[in-house]
Amino acid sequence: MRALLGNPGFRLLLIGQTLSQLGDRALIIAFGIWAKELTGSDAAAGVAFFFVAFPYLLAPFAGALIDRFSARGVFLVTNLSMAAVMLLTLLVRGPEQIWLLYLVILCYGLSGIVIGPTQATIVATIAREDELADANGLMQTVSGGVRLLAPLVGAGLFTLVGGHVVAMIDALTFVVAALCVLGVRVPARPGRSTAPAGWAAETAQGLRHVFGTPVLRDVVLALGLALLVMGFSQTLIFAIVDQGLHRPAAFVGVLSSVQGAGTIVAGLVTGWFTRRFGDIRLVTAGIAGIAAAALLYLVPHLAGVAAGALLFGAAICWTTAGLITTVQRRTPADLRGRALGTAMGAVSLPQTVSIALGAGLSLVLGYRALLILMIVITTACAGWLAWRVPATTGQAAEEGSLR
């Protein structure tokens, strides 16, 4: 990890990501509050979050954009474009301009499906293969730290200075992220052997690679199914705090901080775990961690629930870093953007759906029943993926054939 942090390009990318994510997450919080204040409707705030999630349906097409052009160039253009889009928020003055707010949020969601895979593609080109797990773990550590700060920053800034200023601060973070990546020296990729085949055909190549490669297919399917219930926790955490711990709703913020701490710690040991057990085992451990966290959430005591939140944060880190590392290592450079876009989109969409599904099911089922459902499904996913990976440990295990 020391050598990785000594890489100037990676340091710049990490700094840019830290500032950009802090601005982005603060903006999402602020936009939800803003939509609520403009319309007086809770549904309006919910629609704002929908526009962030909807673009993940288009993630494979975004991957084709990354592979067709320079990943560094795509990153720069996307960030600078979003900085310009943020200026539209200055026109929002009342409920009649709520559509402008939704337009900006939709553009933000579209930028997310480009920036994530692009960043992972750049990491794969500036870090050695044996450093990828460390690099992805550090990226998740940063995300955990941002998760601790963003709710306070977003809500606090909105209260103090209003949504317009928060949006301008986020625009500035997009510019800073672009400037950081401008200083990153990205090695040129080998030229294409054939002319571009068209967006649909190129996107299909990414889909075929992910779902036609047994290792990648099994990881995406297992993780996608696990995340289809993992999102229940976004709704259930309020019932856990209220009915299980008998504490006020504001205590959810404390558990969110504990979860962020879990992500930070897990990110720091991701590289070690991957070198010892392999990247697919990292994903498996993450899915198993979700099951264990849900089990701890059933304990009606603070210590158990806090331990569950800590483990849940670690599980988020390991599943995300493990998925990205698995795809990076098993994908040719000229296909990496499409493969990452497909894989990340394929698991993000079920997670988004599960948040809405959990909210609906919580109206008819108790939170304990839904936690048990989470435990059963995630345990089955982790067990199946562990069975599919050969018994040997380390990277060699994952390069072997599946059962």
Instruction: Look up residue 61 and give its amino acid.
Output: F
Residue 283 maps to a domain: yes
| CA separation for the pair 227, 144 (Å, rounded) | 18
Rounded-to-integer distance, Cα 338 and Cα 317, Å: 22
- pTM, whole model, 2 decimals? 0.82
- Write down the pLDDT at residue 81: 92
Residue pLDDT, tens place only, 100-132 = 888 888 888 888 888 888 888 888 888 888 888
Query: Looking at the structure, do residues 113 and 219 belong to the same domain, yes or no?
Result: no
pLDDT tens per residue, range 33-71: 777 777 776 566 556 666 777 777 777 777 778 878 888
Question: pLDDT class for 390, splitting at 50, 70, 90?
Answer: low
403 within a domain of the structure (yes/no): no
pLDDT score of 331 more than 80: yes
Based on the fold, state whether residues 109 and 144 are members of the same structural domain: yes
Report whether 367 contacts 244 (CB < 8 A). Answer: yes
Domain boundary among 184, 210, 243: 184
The rounded distance, in Å, linking the Cα atoms of 321 and 319 is 6
pLDDT at 392: 42
Whether the predicted pLDDT of 371 surpasses 90:
yes
Q: What is the pLDDT of residue 311?
A: 95
Q: How far is CA 67 from CA 62, 319, 374, 389, in A?
A: 9, 24, 36, 29
**Measuring CA to CA, which residue among 213, 250, 129, 175 is closest to residue 23?**
175
- 164 and 215 co-located in one domain: no
CA distance linking residue 26 with residue 8, whole number of Å: 27
The more confident residue out of 83 and 19 is 83
Asked whether residue 302 is assigned to any structural domain, the reply reads yes
CATH of residue 270's domain is: 1.20.1250.20
Burial class (CB in 10 A: 0-12, 13-18, 19+), 299: middle
- 275 and 337 in a single domain? The answer is yes
Amino acid at 123: V
pLDDT class of 402 with cuts at 50, 70, 90: very low
Instruction: Give the helix, strand, coil percentages of the chain, each rounded to 5.
Output: 85, 0, 15
Q: Tell me how crowded residue 384 is: count the other CB atoms within 10 A of its CB.
A: 15
The pLDDT value given to residue 307: 95
Q: Do residues 342 and 394 both lie within one domain?
A: yes
Amino acid letter, 4: L
pLDDT at 230 exceeding the cut of 90: no
The first and second tokens of residue 91, run together, are: 């026109």
Alpha helices for 40-93 (secondary structure H): 42-53, 59-68, 71-85
Pair (128, 273) in one structural domain: no
Q: Report yes or no on 191 lying in a domain.
A: no
Residue type, 125: T
Q: What is the DSSP string of 105-121?
A: HHHHHHHHHHHHHHHHH
Query: Do 217 and 317 have their domain in common?
Result: yes
* pLDDT tens string 233-242: 877 887 888 8
Rounded distance, CA 260 to CA 149, Å? 9
pLDDT tens sequence across 85-97: 989 989 988 888 8
Does residue 195 sit within a domain? no
Q: Which residue has the higher pLDDT, 307 or 116?
A: 307
User: Smallest Cα–Cα separation from 15: which of 177, 178, 183?
Assistant: 177
Residues 114, 22, single domain; the answer is yes
Among residues 184, 211, 230, which one ends one of the domains? 184
Query: Which of the given ranges, 26-40, 98-112, 192-206, 272-286, has the highest pLDDT on average?
Result: 272-286
Per the model's pLDDT, the better-predicted residue between 17 and 84 turns out to be: 84
Q: Could you tell me which residue, 77 or 403, shows the higher pLDDT? A: 77
Q: What contacts 192, CB < 8 A, 6 or more positions away?
A: 334
Question: Sorting pLDDT into bands at 50, 70 and 90, what band is 391?
Answer: very low
Average pLDDT, the chain: 82
When mean pLDDT is compared over 184-188, 257-261, 270-274, 353-357, the highest value belongs to 270-274
Q: Are residues 327 and 351 in the same domain?
A: yes
Range of the domain at 36: 1-184
Q: What mean pLDDT comes out for the span 17-23?
A: 79
Q: What is the pLDDT of residue 285?
A: 95
pLDDT at 310 over 90: yes
Same domain as 246, residue 317: yes
Does residue 313 belong to any structural domain of this protein? yes
- How far apart are the C-alpha atoms of 237 and 232, rounded to whole Å? 9
Question: Do 168 and 229 belong to one domain?
Answer: no
Q: What is the pLDDT of residue 104?
A: 86
User: How many domains would you assign to the chain?
Assistant: 2
Q: What is the pLDDT of residues 149-175, one digit of tens each?
A: 776 777 777 778 888 888 888 889 889
* Type of residue at 291: A
Is residue 189 a part of any domain in this protein?
Answer: no
Percent residues over pLDDT 70 in the chain: 89
Which has more confidence, 109 or 281? 281
393 pLDDT tier (thresholds 50, 70, 90): very low
266 and 134, same domain (yes or no): no
